[in-house]
Amino acid sequence: MSVDNATVRRIARLARMKLEDERVEPMAAELNGILAWVEQLKEVDVQGVEPMTSVVEQRLKMREDVVTEPDNSDALMVNAPGGEDHFFVVPKVVE
pTM score: 0.53
**CB-based contacts of 88: which residues, under 8 Å, 6+ apart?**
77, 80, 82
Model pLDDT, residue 58: 82
**Does 17 reside within a domain?**
yes
Residue pair 24/5 in contact (Cβ under 8 Å)? The answer is: yes
Instruction: Write out pLDDT tens, residues 58-93.
Output: 888 899 999 888 888 888 888 888 888 888 898 888
80 domain-assigned:
no
Residue 37 lies in a domain: yes
pLDDT of amino acid 45: 94
User: What domain count does the chain have?
Assistant: 1
Query: Does 70 map to a domain?
Result: no
**What distance separates the 2 farthest-apart alpha carbons in the chain?**
55
Contacts of 4 (CB under 8 A, 6+ apart): 28
Model pLDDT, residue 48: 93
User: Cα 15 from chain centroid?
Assistant: 11
User: What CA–CA distance (Å, rounded) separates 27 from 68?
Assistant: 48
pLDDT band at 3 (very low <50, low <70, confident <90, very high): very high
Band the pLDDT of 94: cuts 50, 70, 90: confident
Measured CA to CA, the distance from residue 26 to residue 18 in angstroms comes to 15
- Establish if 48 belongs to a structural domain: no
Residue 78 is assigned to a structural domain of this protein: no
pLDDT in tens, 19-44: 999 999 999 999 999 999 999 999 99
